[in-house]
């Protein structure tokens, strides 16, 4: 499949410095981090959630587990993890288990975990299971400039 067109267009239109890293097929961000010897704290793991209002993409480190109760409390919502079919509808040019940490590129409201935005380097899947986007933390923070930041995860 390759890098999702939406991802590339979004990064280029924001003049974000990034590089694409090709790797053997993996099934998850955690597995990609392990294979590519990327610290799990630097691998962004997006989790698509939804309720009767709309979708919300929570971006957390691959080394962490989402605290859904805390997120719901902070957002005053009743979010639940959505199924694979809904993920495919929201991120049409991506494999369901390889969505990028760029909700805004897809018109999806986003929150990012504060643990992730403190990292020096950030990696995330580029829309398939064979490519990662890598950028410095400053670039990621610039892309997440308008995104709420909360501590919504805890270490595995």
Residues 17/139, Cβ–Cβ less than 8 Å = yes
Phi and psi at 68, nearest 5°, equal: -65, -35
Take residue 26 and report the two structure tokens written for it.
């993996």
> Which uninterrupted H or E stretch holds 80?
strand 80-81
Q: What is the pTM of this model?
A: 0.95
- pLDDT tens readout for residues 129-149: 999 999 999 999 999 999 999
The domains found in the chain, sorted by start residue, are 5-155 (3.90.960.10)
Q: What is the pLDDT of residue 6?
A: 97
Residues 124/132, Cβ–Cβ less than 8 Å = yes
Residues 114/153, Cβ–Cβ less than 8 Å = no
In 3-state terms, what secondary structure has residue 82?
coil
């Amino acid at each position: 499949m390759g890098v999702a067109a939406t991802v590339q267009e979004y990064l280029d239109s924001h003049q974000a410095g990034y590089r694409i890293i090709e790797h053997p097929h993996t099934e998850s961000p955690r597995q990609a981090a392990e294979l590519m010897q990327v610290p799990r704290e630097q691998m962004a793991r997006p989790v698509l959630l939804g309720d009767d209002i709309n979708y919300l993409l929570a971006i957390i480190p691959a080394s962490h587990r989402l605290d859904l109760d805390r997120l719901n409390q902070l957002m005053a919502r009743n979010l639940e993890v959505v199924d694979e079919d809904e993920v495919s509808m929201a991120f049409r040019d991506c494999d369901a288990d390889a969505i990028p940490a760029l909700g805004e590129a897809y018109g999806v409201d986003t929150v990012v975990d504060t643990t992730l935005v403190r990292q020096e380097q950030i990696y995330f899947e580029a829309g398939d299971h064979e490519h990662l986007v890598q950028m410095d933390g400053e670039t990621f923070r610039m892309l997440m400039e308008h995104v709420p930041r909360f501590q919504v995860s805890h270490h595995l």
